[in-house]
Amino acid sequence: MQQPNSNFLEQSKNWIFNQWERLRSRALGFYAQYPRWAIAGLVAGGLGILGFLSVLLIAGLVYVEALGPVPGYPELQAISNHNASEVYSEDGVLLGKYYVENRINADFEEISPDLINALVATEDARFFEHSGIDVRAAARVLVKSILLMDESSGGGSTLSQQLAKNLYPRQEYLVLSMVVNKMREMLIARRLEHAYAKEELLRLYLNTVSFGEGIFGIKVAAQRFFNKSPEALNLEEAAVLVGMLKATTYYSPVRHPENALRRRNIVLGQMVRYGYLGAEVKDSLVQLPLVADYRPEGHNKGLATYFREHLRHELSGLLEGYTKPDGTPYNLYTDGLRIYTSLDARLQRYAEEAVQEEMAKVQENFYEDWKKGTPWGSNEVLERAVRKSDRYQDLKARGVSEEKIEAIFQQPVPMTVFSWKNGEEEREMSPLDSVKYYLTMLNAGFLAADPSTGMIKAWVGGIDHKYFQYDHVFAKRQVGSTFKPVVYATALQGGMLPCEYTYNRQVAYAKYDNWSPRNADGAYEGVYSMEGALSNSVNTVTVEIMMRSGIDSVRQLGRAMGIESHIPAVPSISLGAVEASLYEMTKVYGTFANRGRRPEWHYLDRIETADGEVLVTFERPNPRRFPRVLEEPQADMMIRMLESVVDSGTARKLRYHYGLYNDIAGKTGTTQNQSDGWFVGFNPKLVAGAWVGGSWPQVHFRTLYRGQASSTALPIYGSFMRKVYRDKAYKSVRYARFSAPADTVSALMQCPPYLEEMPILAVHEDGYYYFEDNRSLFGRLLDQPYKDEQGRVINVPPRQAGESDEAYVQRVRAYQSQLQERELRREKRKTFWSNLLFGEGEEGKNDQTDEKEQKPTTGYKYYDRNNEQ
């Protein structure tokens, strides 16, 4: 008996044979009727079969890695994107980043659900249904992209395949590039689907995808275009960012807002189509305008660019001593470190705004000053600037001759240059004109710190980091009169009293090649107290005081107060012939603010890993351990003198123009030819310094009126402090008060800043000095110099360089003794001739009686230098 299976097989064979015969007869009939179409069909079918077999062959070669390595599961499970390291201010504000790729990874919980829905609806509607390959889309890709080699067809890649392409960029395989890369991406996508859950794949995708402008990942994109975190994005903002993925530049909400708006509405329509959004909601959203909050960033953009660059160099060295758990060193640009600093973001912003606002005005004044002539003086400076330019250096390295280089520098070319009006602008100018242009561009530096703690709060190294990358916080330039307080503090340390008067006279110092300092106003008359000379920045008096104190003593104190730069052993240092930086000079003035204790500047707190673990902590300085450089009474005297600079001296503009009527002390400084302008000011809570000048010292203002420090550097400080005062968050800074000095210190300061003549210092037989006043320990000096009975002024010899208190006292006593002896001889001669000619009369008796009974009046106080009473 025949088996049923045999019957079934026989029937199947017969059915197949019949069907084949039918097809063959139809084909032969079609061929007989349409021979050309039949041949074309056979060829197309053959090619299709051949193509299909070729695809299968290529897929096999990709699978076995014959055409290059394909990541396996262990590698895919250990995916780690390059993650930018972040720099934070003390108040938690992101200042900037260090990166190869500008990316900060976001967790899935940080991503808005609207963003996920918009992404899936627009890029891969069946994402939650497939396993890495969408069959329908793959068929379209097979026909269009692979068989027809149409690279622009697109539309077939799932999110997993796009992620594979982002993680492992396509490679070149000549004519087979499209086929091989598509097969490779499909294989990687399948493996990714097995290695990760769908939510993890979405997180990886959104952290990997590019949004243009050199930024990667949704976290950076949300911050860049809307100043928000990803979870805070609203629906229409999420739609804009998803829409950008089709073409990041063309659909940029900043560069092409109309395109971005149109694309946003398409994304919202896709969300309606796939059930993620109601039609009514979509209709209301498409009516909304596109509103971006663009926050550009980069190595040359954002807050504290100069500080971040300085920190970058420091961190590169610091990280060499720390390794990751796998033993490899940490990478500042890829490991997502978090660096915490002492900077205050608001103060930093105020500082940068002050520099921008005031330097634009200073630059305009500079151009006004040089309507005629060249600011750099000689052609030698211009030639040196040309040789230092990048263009010249590049041409020279390529072996171009000097004649050819000169011709190139004369030829106008299109270029982008810095401009105060627009930030930058396109111009056509020759490279030589470009060098001249930048030679006339002034720059600035600014540093602010809390002297009581040593924390640096604001750091501005220049006017624009993109075009001027030299950090002027560390630039060493002549400091001018800002060094004078060091001279006066040295004098106080040496025992000189603040009310000792010094002649304002031009002197040639033979020991120093007859060097003869001059005053800026050309006036040489009267005498000044220390406060009067400092507040009015009288050069001749300052030099004389330094000569008394000793050059080496001044140098020693300058170093002790924070100047690490070389201080030459020449008398001109008293007028600021010292090259130092803002970093150093703010420390000097911070010493005054701390009543004699020198602060230690600090700006780096700690470094954390991407997981939040503390890698290294940098201990903040202990204010109690700040070294004492000046005694409190000496520092208090200096504070009072520097307050007078602001109240009535060269910095009084802070009061009447900027409205800063709280406790402020400081000093201006203008160097020779108005090349550098300085101002350093302080109160107990904040010390800040500003410098203004050209990139080359030979570039300077033409007139003192426009080029003095009160017109260049002081306005930056004034503008900054005005912004700080107006911010209620800084009430502690605004209302900070200097500590009240001791009564004895206040008494020592009670004297007129200027007198037309040297005041009296009278010595009586009891050995004491008498000053006509009753309000201070050794008396206020009279507004009018003391006169004897005949109305003659009794002058005091000036103190000599290096002369001690005791020696000075003895010399004054000897001088007064000589005066008394001379007066006594004169009186004896008068009496002798009077007796001889007229005989002794009543008038002579009365004179003698008055002389014997003469005593110091009750309006006199006394002071013995050797025994204070």
The pLDDT, as a whole number, for residue 48 is 64
Number of Cβ within a 10 Å radius of residue 770 = 21
The pLDDT, as a whole number, for residue 327 is 85
CA dist., res. 640 & res. 637, Å (int): 5
Distant-in-sequence, close-in-space partners of 183: CB < 8 Å, separation ≥ 6: 55, 58, 59, 62
Angle at 317 between CA 315 and CA 322, to 5 degrees: 85
- Model confidence band, residue 67 (pLDDT cutoffs 50, 70, 90): low
Concatenate the DSSP letters of all residues of 600-644 into one string.
Answer: --B-EEEEE-TTS-EEEE-PPP-GGGSPB-S-HHHHHHHHHHHHH
Q: Which two tokens stand for residue 732?
A: 């502690």
Share of the chain above pLDDT 70, in %: 80
Q: What is the mean pLDDT of residues 175-188?
A: 75
The pLDDT, as a whole number, for residue 407 is 93
* Model confidence at 732: pLDDT above 80: yes
- Model confidence band, residue 44 (pLDDT cutoffs 50, 70, 90): low
Range from 506-515, 570-579, 634-643, 852-861 carrying the lowest mean pLDDT = 852-861
**What does the mean pLDDT of the chain come to?**
84
Torsion of CA 451, 456, 458, 462, to 10 degrees: 110
Distant-in-sequence, close-in-space partners of 284: CB < 8 Å, separation ≥ 6: none
DSSP class of 147: I
- Model confidence band, residue 854 (pLDDT cutoffs 50, 70, 90): very low
CA dist., res. 256 & res. 241, Å (int): 13
Helices (H) and strands (E) in the chain, counts: 32, 22
Which residue, among 230, 481, 194, 450, has the nearest Cα to 343 in the 3D structure? 450
The pLDDT, as a whole number, for residue 244 is 94
Q: What is the mean pLDDT of residues 443-468?
A: 96
The answer to whether the beta carbons of residues 121 and 276 sit under 8 Å apart is: yes
Strand order in the sheet with 338-341: 94-98, 85-88, 338-341, 604-608, 614-617
Which residue, among 855, 644, 841, has the nearest Cα to 752 in the 3D structure? 644
The answer to whether the beta carbons of residues 351 and 461 sit under 8 Å apart is: no
Q: Which two tokens stand for residue 111?
A: 């991503």
The pLDDT, as a whole number, for residue 193 is 86
Residue listed under structure tokens 């006169």 = 787
Residues belonging to the chain:
869
pLDDT tens, position by position, 232-242: 999 999 999 99
Better pLDDT: 301 or 474: 474
Q: Which two tokens stand for residue 793?
A: 């002024």
Torsion of CA 520, 522, 527, 528, to 10 degrees: -10
Q: What is the mean pLDDT of residues 31-57?
A: 67
CA dist., res. 869 & res. 777, Å (int): 8
Query: Reduced to 3 states, what is the DSSP secondary structure of residue 338?
Result: strand
The pLDDT, as a whole number, for residue 798 is 60
Better pLDDT: 780 or 141: 141
Cβ-in-10-Å burial (0-12, 13-18, 19+) of 438 comes to: middle
Q: What are phi and psi of 729, to 5 degrees?
A: -70, -15
Cα Rg of the chain, angstroms:
42
Q: What are phi and psi of 689, to 5 degrees?
A: -130, 145
Better pLDDT: 780 or 699: 699
CA dist., res. 832 & res. 839, Å (int): 9
Range from 132-141, 146-155, 270-279, 341-350 carrying the lowest mean pLDDT = 146-155
Share of the chain above pLDDT 90, in %: 58
The pLDDT, as a whole number, for residue 860 is 29
Residue listed under structure tokens 């990874």 = 105
The pLDDT, as a whole number, for residue 30 is 65
Q: What is the mean pLDDT of residues 806-821?
A: 68
* Model confidence at 96: pLDDT above 70: yes
Q: What is the mean pLDDT of residues 262-270?
A: 94
The pLDDT, as a whole number, for residue 844 is 39
Number of Cβ within a 10 Å radius of residue 185 = 24
Query: Reduced to 3 states, what is the DSSP secondary structure of residue 429?
Result: strand
* Model confidence at 770: pLDDT above 50: no
The answer to whether the beta carbons of residues 772 and 859 sit under 8 Å apart is: yes
The pLDDT, as a whole number, for residue 393 is 92
The pLDDT, as a whole number, for residue 806 is 60
Q: What is the mean pLDDT of residues 498-524?
A: 91
- Model confidence band, residue 171 (pLDDT cutoffs 50, 70, 90): confident
The answer to whether the beta carbons of residues 502 and 798 sit under 8 Å apart is: yes
- Model confidence band, residue 153 (pLDDT cutoffs 50, 70, 90): very low
- Model confidence band, residue 813 (pLDDT cutoffs 50, 70, 90): low
The answer to whether the beta carbons of residues 193 and 124 sit under 8 Å apart is: no
Range from 74-83, 347-356, 523-532, 569-578 carrying the lowest mean pLDDT = 74-83
The answer to whether the beta carbons of residues 300 and 312 sit under 8 Å apart is: no
Cβ-in-10-Å burial (0-12, 13-18, 19+) of 225 comes to: buried
Query: Reduced to 3 states, what is the DSSP secondary structure of residue 424?
Result: strand
Q: What is the mean pLDDT of residues 805-816?
A: 66
The answer to whether the beta carbons of residues 741 and 636 sit under 8 Å apart is: yes
Q: Which two tokens stand for residue 25?
A: 């007869």
Q: What is the mean pLDDT of residues 637-665?
A: 95
Q: Helix H segments across 124-256?
A: 135-140, 159-167, 177-195, 198-208, 218-226, 235-244
Residue listed under structure tokens 């720099």 = 87
The pLDDT, as a whole number, for residue 528 is 95
b/e map of 641-671 (b: 16 or more CB within 10 Å)? bbbbbbbebbbbbbeeebebeebbbbbbbbb
Torsion of CA 282, 288, 290, 292, to 10 degrees: -100
CA dist., res. 728 & res. 461, Å (int): 27
The pLDDT, as a whole number, for residue 849 is 33
The answer to whether the beta carbons of residues 794 and 760 sit under 8 Å apart is: yes
Range from 26-35, 189-198, 825-834 carrying the lowest mean pLDDT = 825-834
- Model confidence band, residue 784 (pLDDT cutoffs 50, 70, 90): very low
The pLDDT, as a whole number, for residue 529 is 94
pLDDT tens, position by position, 190-227: 888 888 888 999 999 899 999 988 889 999 999 999 99
Distances (CA, A) of 728 to 93, 345, 684, 725, 841: 19, 15, 18, 7, 82
Strand pairing report for 442-450 and 762-763: unpaired
Strand pairing report for 614-617 and 604-608: antiparallel
The pLDDT, as a whole number, for residue 135 is 75
The answer to whether the beta carbons of residues 264 and 236 sit under 8 Å apart is: yes
* Model confidence at 778: pLDDT above 50: no
* Model confidence at 846: pLDDT above 80: no
The pLDDT, as a whole number, for residue 6 is 64
The pLDDT, as a whole number, for residue 31 is 62
The pLDDT, as a whole number, for residue 769 is 40
Which residue, among 552, 581, 549, has the nearest Cα to 564 in the 3D structure? 581
- Model confidence band, residue 4 (pLDDT cutoffs 50, 70, 90): low
Range from 260-264, 505-509, 790-794, 832-836 carrying the lowest mean pLDDT = 790-794
The answer to whether the beta carbons of residues 101 and 209 sit under 8 Å apart is: no
Query: Reduced to 3 states, what is the DSSP secondary structure of residue 453?
Result: coil
* Model confidence at 446: pLDDT above 60: yes
b/e map of 839-860 (b: 16 or more CB within 10 Å)? eeeeeeeeeeeeeeeeeeeeeb
Torsion of CA 724, 730, 731, 733, to 10 degrees: -80
The pLDDT, as a whole number, for residue 792 is 39
The answer to whether the beta carbons of residues 503 and 798 sit under 8 Å apart is: yes
End-to-end CA distance of the chain: 147
CA dist., res. 36 & res. 40, Å (int): 6
The pLDDT, as a whole number, for residue 760 is 63
Cβ-in-10-Å burial (0-12, 13-18, 19+) of 59 comes to: middle
pLDDT tens, position by position, 572-590: 999 999 999 999 999 999 9
The pLDDT, as a whole number, for residue 178 is 72
The pLDDT, as a whole number, for residue 51 is 63
Q: What is the mean pLDDT of residues 161-169?
A: 81
* Model confidence at 753: pLDDT above 60: yes
Distant-in-sequence, close-in-space partners of 198: CB < 8 Å, separation ≥ 6: 127, 128
The pLDDT, as a whole number, for residue 803 is 64
* Model confidence at 423: pLDDT above 70: yes
Concatenate the DSSP letters of all residues of 768-808 into one string.
Answer: -EEEE-SSSSS-PPPSS--B-TT--B---PPPPTT--HHHH
- Model confidence band, residue 58 (pLDDT cutoffs 50, 70, 90): low
